[in-house]
Structure formats: C-alpha cells, structure tokens
Amino acid sequence: MRNFYGVELDTPFMLGTAQYPSPQILTDAFTRSRASVATVSLRREASSDKAGQYFWQLIQNLNVKVLPNTAGCHSVKEAVTTAHMAREIFSTNWIKLEVIGEEDTLHPDVFALVEATRILIEDGFDVFPYTTEDLVVADRLVNLGCKVLMPWGAPIGSGMGLNNVFGLRALRAHFPDIAMVIDAGIGLPSQATQAMELGMDAILLNTAVAKAGDPAQMAEAFACAIYAGQLAEAACPMLPRDMASPSTPVLGKGFLE
C-alpha cells in the first residue's frame, strides 16, 4: 500500500467521526471497519463544558491515526488559523484542508485551497487537500509539495458516488506517484469498490456509515468493499470491449454436418 507522508496505513479506509447516534456506536463502527484513520473536526473538539475533552479521549481510545480537518472554513485565513489550532491540540502535522467556496454543493474553493496549501506547507504541515478532479489544480497542489490529493467523488454527504469517472481516471493517470483518497460523495459500498478499482489508494467517508440504520454493520460492509476493489485493481481487471468474446473457445469444437 502507498504511504501517506511516510506513514504506511494498515488499511485503505479513513472514517469520519461526526453524526453518530452515540459514542458506543461510533466505537463499534470503527472496530468493525478496521479503519486506519479517523478524521476529526476541530470545532467539535473545542466545544464547551468539557464535551470536547471527552470526545478527544474517545478518539484516542480508537488507537488509529488522527487526521484533523478544517471543515466549515470559507477563507484562507480561517483555514490556516484552524490548521494551526488543530496541530496544537492533536499534536500532528497532518491536516485535511477544506476551504468551501459554495454553500449548496460545498464545492471546494480551489483558488483559496492552493493559497492555503502554500502557506501551510511552508509552515511544516503535511497537507491532505480536499479538491476536485481538476488536473490543473492538482498540478498546482503537487508542485507546492502535496504528496496526497483528496478529490471528491460527489458533493459532501450526497451519496451520489463517483460523478466524474473519466476525470478521476485521468487524474490517477496523470499523477501515478501521488497518493489519492476519494473524499466525499460515497454512499454505497459498491461505489467505494469502484473507486478502488480506478486505482485510488484509500477512501474517506463519514455520512454513509454514521447515518446508516446500523452504522457498525455498514462500516464492515465498506471495509469488505474497499478490500475487494483493492484486490481487483491489483489483479489487473479485463478492459471493456465493444464486441462479444466467447468464454469457451471454438477451436477444436466438433461440428455436425
């Protein structure tokens, strides 16, 4: 498995920690998912009356790598400030960088994203940028020093899957040495399998598990699906073709006259 800023993960599954019905269900979901990374919002950790302290202890007990994010930030200044606060609280240089530019789709503001990435990399952060499948934006981010890209599959929380398979496939082909994580839009395990079959290195999701009728069971379903996609991609799957091809050879077949 590809490493992420020098860290090799046990599994290619990154799972969010928001919206679960209870702390126990969150814990059960992580246990059954075998996720290697938990994404955590600074806003939740910094909440009042010690709720944030309890939540942080819960996350520490999961025994996974923590990836703080700048969820909800809408400007370069806000994202950079949040990242610095997250580094202080979580004691990690990892940061999932989100800069939102449009409210209805939560579309990344790629111009602000590139600028915030430049500042944070100069400040010693390992940036995981939440971006689109745009090749030019990706090139800017990689040239700044990003060793990971996190293109969306679809808008956050939409469950629509991979809206632009062509674009994601092109992104993977143009940057073969960069770790890529599909982030946002995944709603079904089959969609996660598809993403891994495209050659992605990991899947990050939250809502599809947290809002399921049985989050722990759904987390396990995603774990199986991600593994299946990973195996399939490694096995070099057959390419689609326009014409039929018989699975049983006709050579040597008997003919009746």
Catalytic residues: 96
In this structure, how many other beta carbons lie within 10 angstroms of the beta carbon of residue 176?
A: 8
Give the residue among 110, 81, 77 at the shortest CA–CA distance from 95: 81
Nearest CA-CA partner of 212 in 63, 16, 65, 47: 16
Distance of CA 184 to the CA centre of its chain: 7
* Spatial distance between the Cα atoms of 116 and 37, rounded to a whole number of angstroms: 23
The amino acid that residue 110 corresponds to is V
Alpha-carbon gap, residue 208 to 61, rounded angstroms: 23
The SS3 call for residue 128 is: strand
- Cα separation, 208 vs 91, in Å, equals 28
Residue closest to 129 by CA, chosen among 177, 97, 163, 105: 97
Q: How far apart are the C-alpha atoms of 67 and 128, rounded to whole Å?
A: 9
